[in-house]
């Protein structure tokens, strides 16, 4: 019988490596204490975005520090082959936390909170919100066995965000009034061998205003439909990312 081992995952920095061992300190050590890690247990340690994960065995437990020996190293296999940037208009309440969790689980590499015309709730303390959202992304990356932690950027206005789109030809905005092209049709037109990043825009409750769609289109960002049904803003990004995972899975077979 095949026994699947689920090991606890830690994201570390390069300074945590020393002579074939890794050290868990600070918040990582606190998390290890909560998990009640003991000598002999195996864990996975990853430098976010390095593409390599290290299988380690805990060798020493002391106050404020855990030391683990590196047993083996291997390539991370849980990442998509290119960067995916979600530009998400700020929703009401705590929905952004849920969106970040789902987007992380489904492979987003960057999440950019947006202020658009129909945003109702605007951040009062942007820096503190960003820090909290980054921690949510890290926790979701650990649980979903990601090889990197998505970067949560500072909140941008739509016109500022458009300027940061690296590859407009692969970018799109999800719009409930779009009629010319569906998400699947947009994906079919892309040559994924030449795509190193993909970006997409999701509106807040009520979507985007017509002038915002016009501005996005003027910058080469396609308008796509997600189907006949109207999705909640907290569902739309997950639907798009699931579709991307499906398409990329087929291509990479």
pLDDT for the residue 199: 96
Structural domain boundaries, residue 45: 8-75
Q: Is the pLDDT of residue 36 over 80?
A: yes
35-49: burial string, b at 16+ Cβ within 10 Å, e else: eebeeebebbbbbee
Domain boundary pick from 54, 75, 96: 75
Say whether both 137 and 226 belong to one domain.
yes
Domain boundary pick from 75, 104, 128: 75
Say whether both 61 and 90 belong to one domain.
no
In the structure, what pLDDT confidence band is assigned to residue 133 with cuts at 50, 70 and 90?
A: very high
Say whether both 55 and 152 belong to one domain.
no
203: tokens are 């509106």
For residue 3, tell me if it sits in a domain.
no
**E strand residue ranges, the chain:** 8-11, 17-18, 21-25, 42-46, 52-62, 65-75, 83-89, 110-115, 151-152, 156-157, 172-174, 197-202, 222-224
Asked if residue 199 lies in contact with residue 167, where contact means CB atoms within 8 angstroms, the answer is yes
- Judged on CB neighbours under 10 Å (0-12, 13-18, 19+), 245 is middle
Say whether both 222 and 153 belong to one domain.
yes
Q: Is the pLDDT of residue 1 over 50?
A: no
pLDDT tens figures, 170-205: 999 999 888 888 988 888 888 877 888 999 999 999
Asked if residue 46 lies in contact with residue 11, where contact means CB atoms within 8 angstroms, the answer is yes
Provide the mean pLDDT of the chain: 91
Say whether both 13 and 98 belong to one domain.
no
Say whether both 101 and 48 belong to one domain.
no
In the structure, what pLDDT confidence band is assigned to residue 3 with cuts at 50, 70 and 90?
A: very low
pTM, two decimals, is 0.91
183: tokens are 């998400």
Say whether both 134 and 234 belong to one domain.
yes
């Amino acid at each position: 019988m095949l026994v699947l081992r689920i090991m606890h995952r830690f994201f570390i920095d390069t300074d945590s490596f020393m002579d074939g061992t890794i050290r868990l300190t600070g918040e990582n050590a606190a998390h290890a204490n909560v998990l009640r890690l003991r000598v002999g247990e195996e864990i996975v340690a990853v430098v976010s975005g390095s593409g390599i994960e290290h299988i380690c065995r805990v060798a020493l437990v002391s106050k404020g520090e855990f030391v683990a020996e590196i047993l083996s190293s291997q390539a991370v296999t849980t990442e998509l082959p290119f960067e995916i940037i979600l530009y998400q208009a700020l929703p009401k309440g705590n929905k952004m936390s849920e969106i970040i969790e789902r987007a992380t689980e489904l492979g987003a590499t960057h999440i950019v909170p947006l202020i658009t015309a129909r945003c109702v709730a605007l951040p009062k303390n942007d820096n503190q919100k960003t820090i909290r959202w980054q921690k949510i992304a890290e926790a979701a990356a650990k649980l979903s066995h990601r090889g990197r932690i998505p970067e949560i950027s500072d909140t941008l206005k739509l016109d500022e965000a458009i300027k940061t789109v690296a590859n407009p030809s692969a970018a799109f905005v999800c719009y409930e009034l779009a009629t010319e092209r569906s998400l699947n049709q947009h994906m079919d037109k892309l040559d994924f061998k030449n795509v190193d990043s993909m970006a997409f825009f999701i509106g807040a409750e009520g979507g985007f205003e017509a002038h915002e769609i016009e501005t996005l289109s003027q910058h080469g960002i396609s308008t796509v439909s997600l189907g006949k049904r109207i999705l909640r803003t907290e569902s739309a990004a997950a639907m798009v990312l699931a579709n991307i995972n499906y398409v990329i899975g087929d291509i990479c077979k």
